[in-house]
Amino acid sequence: MEFFDSHAHLTSPDVLPHIDALLERATHAQVHHILNICTHPDQLQQASLLRTRYPHIRNAGAIHPHDTATAGESAFSAFAQAAQDRKLVAVGETGLDYHYEHSPRELQKQFLIRHLHLATAANLPVIFHCRDAFSDLFSIADVEYPPSCKAILHCFTGTLEEAQQVLSRGWFLSLSGIVTFKKSNWLRDVAKMVPLEQLLIETDTPYLAPQSHRGKPNEPAFVVETATCIAREKGISLEELAEATCRNGKQLFCGGTV
């Protein structure tokens, strides 16, 4: 049995100093594949070094919607170059966040469109971040992103109806430790409904640690708790859940192979 953590910020300043011990714990927990998410250009070089040291780690990158007002043109150019140079296996996380709205909505939309065009040109899947903005996200993607291209809705916390709209577009839906929280009954209903062939699991390290670790920094090893919760809700074995989500992660980010 092996697990694929499809979203972790390993090059975050809060994580990188402890990376060796963290990855050792992940391996011990059978988390043998991790997608590292870069949200700042200065993380790209660190990500490349991490990939060299740990071949089971792959990298994605984009400007987070929170940062579109401060990132600047040079940041987008750096991510675009990394994508074109095949140093990234996905473009993201990009998207819209109207919950905090750290950046103006119109600017978030502009950068979302640019990231969608970059993903299309580089033939890479796109990873969406979306909070309180699904209507605009769907409207923009339906126009700017070919339906044949792959997409992942990371750390999904929307409604059942929004989940169905994600799935109807053929996108993947990724669930984090939030699904284990005591009050997340609505999200467990989503977990029951998502077909295994469109499901991913993630930690969003160092954020959103699952219930038994709440209040502590999250890490890839904890994805097993999320997987266990989802398997229980779906009425399947942990092995079946792990196999399906790992297979999906490999197809999206590893060319179908390890």
- pLDDT per residue over 78-101, tens digit each? 999 999 999 999 999 999 999 988
- pLDDT per residue over 112-136, tens digit each? 999 999 999 999 999 999 999 999 9
Whether domain 3-253 has CATH 3.20.20.140: the reply is: yes
- pLDDT per residue over 5-53, tens digit each? 999 999 999 999 999 999 999 999 999 999 999 999 999 999 999 999 9
- pLDDT per residue over 174-228, tens digit each? 999 999 999 999 999 999 999 999 999 999 999 999 999 999 999 999 999 999 9
Spell out the domain ranges in the chain. 3-253
Residue 256 has pLDDT above 60, yes or no: no
- Give the per-residue pLDDT at 258: 45
Residue 72: CB partners within 8 Å, gap ≥ 6?
A: none
Which DSSP symbol is given to 182?
A: T
Which bin fits 215, alpha (ψ -120 to 50), beta or left (φ > 0)? left
